Amino acid sequence: MFAALRWTAAVAVFAAVGTGVAYGITLPERTDVPGLSTEDDGRWTFPALSRPALPAGAPVPQGPDNKDGTHYAPLTGLLLPAPEGAKADDAVKADKDGNVSVDTFLEEYTPEAREKLKQSLEWDGLRQIAGRGWTTADGTRTHVYLLRFHSSGFVDAFKGCDSNARLTGVSALDLDDVWNKAKNTQMNSTTLDFPGAANFDGTELSVYQEVKPFLGEEQTKVGCLRTGDVLGMVIQTRKGEVAPVTFHQSVILQSQLLS
């Protein structure tokens, strides 16, 4: 069961209650969120979410007997699904099992940045990449990637998800101003290693936005999720500007699946 927390600065935050290997993750009714009117706020409707079952005897990522936060569930089963009405985005070239090659993942970055990042992934314990992409009716494109490493230390060593990331078609990244204003009141904002990071349900979240002037007509926003041996990336792009509600919603729900 999930309970709604506060709604501040257009950020909807949902927190898990209880423990277990496989359980549902659902959104509360709009009227259950304090301070949110019954008018449509643009939030997407996702299918009922649940974590995949763990192998027999395997601990949960945040369990007391899992000091490194290792994820034993199938990685593709932890990917956020597309919301209702969205169409698959073939730019995320996943195989039939949802896995993505290193070269495909690196297409998110400028050609000049790819060689160094590829070397880093090869040397720093990458085990697997899973990915999914979709496009909604308003033209918003969302790419979600999960990178599994041999240990949490390798997750922290990867430099492809921070304000210095050189993403294709993106001018420059800075902290997401809406998220940054909200995190101190809605999350445990203990100081972490990454600028602007907040700790949400055991996941370190850092959220960035492309700053003006954009390189083209679209803006990109990026959510970086670090939890145990997995790095999650939520990349959202839209003509004009990316809507903060659906972007933050996607980041938070993906963090819940990983926690």
Quick: pLDDT tens for 140-154: 999 999 999 999 989
Residue 133 pLDDT:
97
pLDDT of residue 95: 94
Q: What is the mean pLDDT of residues 14-31?
A: 34
Instruction: Give pLDDT, residue 135.
Output: 98
Work out the mean pLDDT of the chain and round it to a whole number: 82
Does 16 score more than 70 pLDDT? no
Give mean pLDDT, residues 106-117: 97
Mean pLDDT of 193-218: 78
Spatial separation of the C-alpha atoms in residues 138 and 49, rounded to whole Å: 23
Taking the C-alpha atoms of residue 231 and residue 130, their distance in angstroms, rounded to an integer, is: 11
Tokens encoding 195: 């600028």
pLDDT score recorded for residue 110: 97
Whether 132 shows a pLDDT value over 50: the answer reads yes
Given this model, what pLDDT does residue 2 score?
28
Give the residue numbers spanning the domain of 62: 2-258
Q: Tell me how many domains the chain contains.
A: 1
Cis peptide leading into 83, omega within 30 of 0? no
Residue of 39 and 222 predicted with greater confidence = 222
Calpha distance 22→50 (Å, rounded)? 6
pLDDT, tens digit, for every residue of 71-86? Answer: 999 999 999 999 999 9
pLDDT confidence of residue 42: 87
Q: Is the pLDDT of residue 53 over 50?
A: yes
Q: Which tens digits make up the pLDDT trace of 156-177?
A: 889 899 999 999 999 999 999 9
* Contact of 33 with 12, CB cutoff 8 Å: yes
When pLDDT is cut at 50, 70 and 90, the band that residue 56 belongs to is very high
> Residue 143's closest CA among 29, 233, 224?
233
Residue 74 token pair:
């199938």
**Residue 186 in this model has a pLDDT that exceeds 90:** no
- For residues 179 and 44, what is the distance between their CA atoms, to the nearest angstrom? 18
User: In the predicted model, what is the mean pLDDT of residues 78-101?
Assistant: 95
What is residue 232's predicted lDDT score, i.e. its pLDDT? 97
Beta bridge partners of 3: 15
The pLDDT value recorded for residue 25 is: 41
Q: What's the CA gap between 245 and 226, in Å, rounded?
A: 21
